[in-house]
Amino acid sequence: MSNKIAVLGSINVDTTYHMDRFPQPGETLQAKDKSSAPGGKGANQSVACARSGAKTYHIGMVGADQEGQFMRESMQEDGIDTKFVGIDKMHGTGTAMITLDAEGQNDIMVYGGANQAMTTDVLKNTDDLFKEIDFIITQFETPQKVSAEAFKRAKENGVTTILNPAPAKDIDPELLKYTDVIAPNETESALLTGIEITDEDSMIKTAEYFKAKGVPNLLITLGSKGVFYSTPNDHGLVPAFKVKPVDTTAAGDTFIGALTSQLKTDLSNIADALVYAQRASSLTVQKMGAAPSIPTYDEVKAALAESGK
């Protein structure tokens, strides 16, 4: 039985400018190339869930424009159920402008559009959905008020809730109250808690910080160093797979979606699910683009077999 997952989150069209290096303030540089692709943290995570075999529903908003139609069709091609993706006639579909250098590093400017204008109205007609799903995931490219209401409904129906607090900002305590798993990267973690991630002790302190706020489970992604996990029963570090990155866009989104696709709702297989998610993420960074670079279940399993996992 595959997991049933709802992702509440952003839907963007990503435009990437390929550069030798990032421009300095006031400097104009020629781009080597330009490409557009489906993106947005929420949509990327839905794609990662779906490509790893989960029955995936997306809750979100697009504008009444060509980009919105493009994104709905693109998600449907991946088998994602978009009946909970609304159309905002007042705001455009979210867009992101990505600058990518020769080393595979990126910086990103985002226009929130319909994503940021979302209200709890997007949750109407979702009663049956919350009775059906195993997990719900959200991030911070859509309003936290909507996420808090969705997580509250999820908890009323015994659904496991996963918060990816990216990009990092102050968290609504109401949202934390209904969060089962929080999954920042090391930079986001330090911004949210004030605890610099330097060693295992600092990671355990971070887990205690979130437990005090009502969140029992913590994952901190550490880039090339792997991922730290802490549950009420266990904690540990799962190493990363060593690869040469071409484009790090969507690496974190792939990790979250791939992980949730394999995770049991009681988190009893978290170590194995993390290995799968790390492998999926390592494949994503070896290809260009956000959604186009996210691997399928078969691709991840083949890569795991190749690396003897």
Q: Which two tokens stand for residue 279?
A: 């492998």
Which residue, among 59, 40, 57, has the nearest Cα to 123 in the 3D structure? 59
9 is known to lie in a ligand binding site: no
The catalytic residue positions are 253
Sequence-distant (≥ 6) Cβ neighbours of residue 280 within 8 angstroms: 48, 52, 254, 255, 258, 294, 295, 300
226 is known to lie in a ligand binding site: yes
Sequence-distant (≥ 6) Cβ neighbours of residue 228 within 8 angstroms: 200, 203, 218, 219, 220, 222, 235, 236, 237
43 is known to lie in a ligand binding site: yes
- Rounded-to-5 percentages of helix, strand, coil across the chain: 40, 25, 40
Amino acid identity for residue 255 in this structure: F
The secondary structure of residue 86, as a DSSP letter, is E
253 is known to lie in a ligand binding site: yes
Please give the full DSSP string across 216-228, using - where no structure is assigned: -EEEEE-GGG-EE
44 is known to lie in a ligand binding site: yes
14 is known to lie in a ligand binding site: yes
**Rounded distance between C-alpha atoms, residue 108 and residue 65, angstroms:** 22
Chain centroid to CA 41 = 5
141 is known to lie in a ligand binding site: yes
65 is known to lie in a ligand binding site: no
42 is known to lie in a ligand binding site: yes
Question: In terms of DSSP H, where are the helices of 138-264?
Answer: 144-156, 173-177, 186-193, 200-212, 251-262
308 is known to lie in a ligand binding site: no
94 is known to lie in a ligand binding site: no
**Secondary structure of residue 102 in the 3-state scheme:** coil
252 is known to lie in a ligand binding site: yes
122 is known to lie in a ligand binding site: no
273 is known to lie in a ligand binding site: no
221 is known to lie in a ligand binding site: yes
Which residue, among 275, 224, 272, has the nearest Cα to 104 in the 3D structure? 224
Burial class (CB in 10 A: 0-12, 13-18, 19+), 94: buried
93 is known to lie in a ligand binding site: no
**Annotated binding-site residue numbers for K(+):** 247, 249, 284, 287, 289, 293
**Annotated binding-site residue numbers:** 12-14, 40-44, 141, 185, 221-226, 247, 249, 252-253, 284, 287, 289, 293
**Annotated binding-site residue numbers for substrate:** 12-14, 40-44, 141, 253
**Annotated binding-site residue numbers for ATP:** 185, 221-226, 252-253
